[in-house]
């Protein structure tokens, strides 16, 4: 489907014979329709370096994979439904009409309970962190172990990808940030060359597992029992990571909100249920993963700023990019001391 068709589906389409009247959100790879107590997520027909949604069959398979991998820990995923067209009207789940796409159907939750919104409002409490740490540790303990070794060239390339935006960053945030990226990239290669043997020893010990892959506060709802959602379905390698990498993302995100004590609390409680630090090197590897996650978020917001439709959106994205680059600087400094 294309943008105009998605807008038509949201405004005039139906589900089970009832008008959708949906509000529409979008990411760079999906459209999300919010309708009553349901959410429908449709893949964009895009082809990028790390995913291919260019055919209807590929999007159908991706929807089915999304359902499968998220149902391991999330109760809100309800099914995959065809999107049909009859004449000029679209319907979700409609039989007998021409199938033009597929949608993942989820139960809709309150946006006010999303962890990032609650962090921004100062409403995340220690009780939330206790429940979240227990939930994540429980999921990680039962997750499938992945025994494939990590590859140096692949890991170097993942970190170095930020250099694709360093010119833009230097131009809009100052040359000091361009130099920071240059320094961090050199430090990363040096670190990986030294510590990859221990990282692969951790793989052999069973710490690389099939996890969430994108575990930050925007993908968590904080109810009495927290709900995780929206794990990575389109590239297994992004999801099959060391548990330290996964929890580093959440801790880094908490620190981006200035919540260092909540980050420490999450880490401590998680480790009570799933001890995953064994050596001094593991502590440094954890900092490296925080560094990597800050790098990736900074790059995401740099790209968002590059493609922003107006100056207000651009400035907001640049502000977030700077926050993550400041964290990248902090973590790089910690690694450089060793």
- Number of helical H runs and strand E runs in the chain: 12, 14
Residue 97 has pLDDT above 80, yes or no: no
Q: pLDDT tens, 195-221?
A: 999 999 999 999 999 999 999 999 999
305 contacts 321 by C-beta, under 8 angstroms = yes
Mean pLDDT of 286-292: 98
Q: Judge whether residue 270 has pLDDT over 70.
A: yes
Q: What is the 3-state secondary structure (H, E, C) of 147-193?
A: CCCCCHHHHHHHHHHHHHHHHHHHHHHCHHHHHHHHHHHHHHHHHHH
Domain's final residue, options 108, 133, 148? 108
What's the rounded Cα separation, in Å, for the pair 170 and 166? 6
For residue 93, the 8-state DSSP code is S
The pLDDT value given to residue 95: 64
* CB 146, CB 240: distance < 8 Å: yes
Is the confidence at residue 319, as pLDDT, over 90? yes
Q: Do 231 and 288 lie in a common domain?
A: yes
Residue 159 has pLDDT above 80, yes or no: yes
pLDDT score for 308: 87
CA 36 to chain centre: 25
**Per the confidence metrics, is the pTM higher than 0.75?**
yes
pLDDT at 27: 84
Q: Is the pLDDT of residue 246 over 80?
A: yes
Cross-strand pairs, 33: 24, 40
Tell me what the mean pLDDT of segment 249-258 comes to: 97
- Let me know whether 181 and 42 are in one domain: no
166 and 69 within one domain: no
Q: Does the pLDDT of residue 96 top 70, yes or no?
A: no
Same domain, yes or no: 263 and 305: yes
Per the structure, the count of domains in the chain is 2
Which residue pairs, CB below 8 angstroms and at least 24 apart, start in 122-131? 124/222, 124/259, 124/262, 126/262, 126/265, 128/222, 128/226, 129/262, 129/265, 129/266, 129/269, 130/265, 130/269, 131/224, 131/225, 131/226
Measured from the Cβ of residue 239, the count of other Cβ atoms closer than 10 Å reads 20
User: The CATH number of the domain where 92 resides is what?
Assistant: 3.30.200
Residue 94 scores a pLDDT above 80 = no
Q: How far is CA 254 from the centre of its chain?
A: 14
Which of 108, 138, 160 lies at the terminal end of a domain, its last residue? 108
Measured distance CA(79)–CA(63) in Å, rounded: 9
Q: Tell me the pLDDT band of 70, cut-offs 50, 70 and 90.
A: very high
- What confidence tier does 182 reach under pLDDT thresholds 50, 70, 90? very high
Residue 338 binned pLDDT confidence (cut-offs 50, 70, 90): confident
Domain check: are 182 and 251 in the same one? yes
| CA geometry: angle 320, 128, 331, nearest 5 deg | 40
- Look at residues 65, 88, 108 and tell me which one is the last residue of a structural domain: 108
Q: Tell me the average pLDDT of the chain.
A: 95
Domain residue limits at 85: 3-108
Predicted confidence (pLDDT) per residue in 15-64, tens digit: 988 999 999 998 889 999 999 999 999 999 999 888 899 999 999 999 99
Q: Tell me what percent of the residues of the chain surpass a pLDDT of 70.
A: 99
Residue 316 is part of a domain; what is its CATH number? 3.90.1200.10
DSSP 124: -
Question: Do 242 and 130 fall into the same domain?
Answer: yes
State whether 122 and 232 are in the same domain: yes
| Residue 161 reports pLDDT greater than 70 | yes
Residue 249: per-residue pLDDT: 98
Residues 289/242, Cβ–Cβ less than 8 Å = yes
**Using one digit for the tens of pLDDT, what is the confidence trace for 128-154?**
999 999 999 999 999 999 999 999 999
Residue 305 pLDDT exceeds 70: yes
For 50, other C-beta atoms within 10 Å of its C-beta total 10
Same domain, residue pair 131 and 103: no
Q: What percentage of the chain reaches a pLDDT higher than 90?
A: 92
Same-domain status, 314 and 176:
yes
């Amino acid at each position: 489907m294309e943008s105009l068709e998605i807008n038509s589906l949201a405004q005039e389409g139906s589900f089970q014979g009832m008008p959708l009247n949906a509000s529409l959100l979008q990411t760079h790879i999906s459209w999300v329709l919010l309708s009553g107590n349901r959410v429908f997520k449709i893949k964009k027909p895009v082809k990028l370096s790390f995913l291919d949604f260019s055919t209807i069959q590929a999007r159908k398979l991706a929807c089915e994979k999304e359902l499968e991998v998220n149902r391991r820990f999330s109760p809100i995923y309800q099914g995959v439904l065809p999107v049909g067209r009859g004449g000029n009207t679209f319907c979700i789940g409609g039989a007998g009409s021409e199938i033009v796409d597929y949608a993942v159907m989820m139960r809709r939750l309150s946006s006010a309970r999303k962890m990032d919104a609650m962090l921004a409002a100062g409403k995340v409490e220690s009780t939330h962190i206790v429940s979240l740490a227990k939930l994540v540790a429980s999921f990680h303990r039962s997750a499938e172990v992945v025994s494939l070794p990590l590859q140096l060239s692949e890991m170097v390339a993942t970190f170095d990808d930020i250099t694709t935006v360093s010119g833009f960053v230097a131009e809009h945030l100052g040359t000091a940030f361009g130099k920071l990226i240059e320094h961090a990239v050199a430090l990363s290669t040096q670190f990986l060359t030294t510590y990859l043997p221990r990282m692969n020893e951790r793989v052999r010990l069973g710490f690389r597992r099939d996890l969430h892959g994108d575990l930050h506060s925007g993908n968590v709802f904080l109810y009495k029992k927290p709900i995780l959602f929206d794990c990575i379905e389109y590239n297994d390698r992004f999801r099959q990571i060391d548990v330290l990498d996964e929890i580093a993302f959440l801790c880094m995100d908490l620190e981006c909100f200035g919540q260092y004590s909540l980050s420490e609390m999450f880490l401590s409680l998680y480790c009570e249920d799933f001890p995953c630090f064994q050596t001094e090197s593991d502590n440094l590897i954890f900092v490296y993963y925080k560094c990597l996650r800050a790098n990736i978020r900074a790059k995401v917001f740099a790209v968002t700023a590059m493609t922003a439709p107006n100056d207000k959106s651009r400035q907001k994205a640049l502000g977030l990019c700077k926050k993550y680059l400041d964290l990248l600087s902090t973590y790089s400094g910690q690694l450089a001391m060793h």
